[in-house]
Each structure stands twice: as structure tokens, then as C-alpha cells.
Amino acid sequence: MAYRAYSLQRAARVRPVVRRALRATILVWAAGMALHSRAADSGNDIEVSAKKVADTVVIDVSMLVSATPREAWDVLTDYDKMPSFLPNLQVSKIISRSPTRLQVVQKGGVSHGPITITFDVIRDVQLKPYSEVISHVVSGNLKQVDGTTRIAAEGEATRVTFHSVSIPNVWVPPGIGPSMIESETRDQFGDMRAEILRRKSAQKQ
């Protein structure tokens, strides 16, 4: 019983640190990509699935936003301005550009007490306006991040789907790890959707 109590106390101390580490990593997963109801604002309607297979994390997201595909595209590919609407993303800058390809530097991180976890990567981004974004981390301190974002009209709204295969730079605990990833990913896509809707509203004024 004493050992079990110690284990639970140790897990309680570790979880906040792991959660912040996962949030930093997920910023990179999700940045290469939120209905006007109260439920939509909370992000509860954003479908997220996260699975861990050995060291690999697979994430799938489906999100509906009351905007056109072009309005969604303009936010999901606005890498230079992402730090203004994605928390903990300190730097996001396009360093190379062609009509169908970008290279993007992204830096960020979180701190908890004496522990600081950061990411610093270069991403290769393939653009297929206004329907698909394919992203691959080519250098930096993340082992692997490959993601595909698809954008398609659905009635008067737009469906955004995201699929990624990643190897994080932090240990992802089984059980609680995928549930935390799902929560943090939902928050990130909620921030994206809020920015899409904010810009849409500003254009009408």
C-alpha cells in the first residue's frame, strides 16, 4: 500500500509536466494546419482520435467551420502570423517560398518550475490550393512529424480533416497520454477555427 501511495503521488507530480510537454509538441503537429453555437466555441464538436503504437503517435481530426474553403485555407497556411493565435508558438516564419512549396521555421516551448521544454524545427510544406497541405519536419529536435490537412466544402461550411504520424521528443505514457493528446489537439484546432471565424467577421465589417 505504501508503494502504491508513493506511485500515485509521483504520477500526480509528473502529469502536469508531461501535459505541458505534449502541448509543445502538438503545436508543431497541428500548426501545419474551428459553428457559431456555444458547443462549437467549446470545441466539443471537434472530433479527435489519438493512438499510440510503440513510439509512434497517430492523430486524426475532423472539424467543421462556418467558412469557405478559401477562408479556412488563408488561416491554416498563414505561418508568419501563427504566433498571434496559437499559444506557446514563439516563432513561425516562412524562409523559402514557391507557388506550391514552403519551408517554415517554428520555435516554441513551455516551462514548469525548473523544467523547460522547447521545440525548434524546419518544416517542408507542400501546398495544393485550396484543398490540401502536406507537411514534413526536415530538421530540428523532433524525431518525426508528418501531417496532411485536407479542406473541402460541405454544404455552406467547410470540413477540415487532419492526419499525422509522429514520434514525439517526450515520453508519452500509455493510457493517459493519448487522452491528453486528444485534449490538447482539440484546443489547437479550436484556436485555428476561432481565428478563421474572427477574420471572416472582420471582412464583413
pLDDT of residue 40: 41
Question: What's CA 18's distance to the chain center, in Å?
Answer: 16
Listed by start position, the domains of the chain span: 2-204
pLDDT of residue 109: 66
pLDDT of residue 136: 95
Number of C-beta neighbours around residue 173 at 10 A? 15
CATH class (in words) of the domain with range 2-204: alpha beta
pLDDT in tens, the chain (205 residues): 555 554 555 555 555 655 655 565 555 555 544 333 333 445 679 999 999 888 888 999 999 999 999 999 999 999 999 999 998 799 999 999 999 999 999 998 654 444 445 678 999 999 999 999 999 999 988 788 899 999 999 999 999 999 999 887 766 667 667 777 788 789 889 999 999 999 999 988 8
pLDDT of residue 117: 54
pLDDT of residue 12: 54
